Homo-oligomer: A and B are copies of this chain.
């Protein structure tokens, strides 16, 4: 009946809160997934940040650097540092927009598209393997929870600038 009250005095440690412990697990899983993905992509000379870029160019051809940075939740300067590398490797193209001479429109080259497909294959396999034990319904519920968290954090972030 009053098991909660008994433990109530000890509940002032963060790691005793269920939500806190849950989030720590989420963060650790993310960190490990990132590290594992980094190793599995190494032979393609692609790192997670590069893959994030490539996948978005695969999906959204002709996107601008600004839009890309926004999707990836990083600063514009980040794109200015990474994109020229991918361009020099012949994986992407940056063409100036005719109507707006400020923007650079991004697209994959054939080589970039091929490499992206190989890398996505690896990433998908890793994900399917790691959470293959979880039923689809559980994954959907997790996704729904995460979407709510994302919305809450984006909202408060949007109030800053």
Report which A residues bind B (CB closer than 8 A): 4, 13-15, 17-23, 25-36, 39, 55, 59, 73, 120-121, 123-124, 127-134, 136, 138-143, 145-150, 152-154, 156-157, 160
Contacts and interface: CB of A to CB of B under 8 A. Distances in A.
Q: Interface of chain A, helix or strand or loop or mixed?
A: helix
Given A142-B142, A143-B25, A32 B131 contact: no
21 contacts: A14-B55, A14-B123, A18-B143, A19-B128, A19-B131, A19-B132, A19-B139, A20-B124, A22-B142, A23-B33, A26-B29, A26-B143, A27-B34, A32-B73, A32-B154, A35-B73, A35-B157, A36-B156, A130-B152, A133-B148, A142-B142
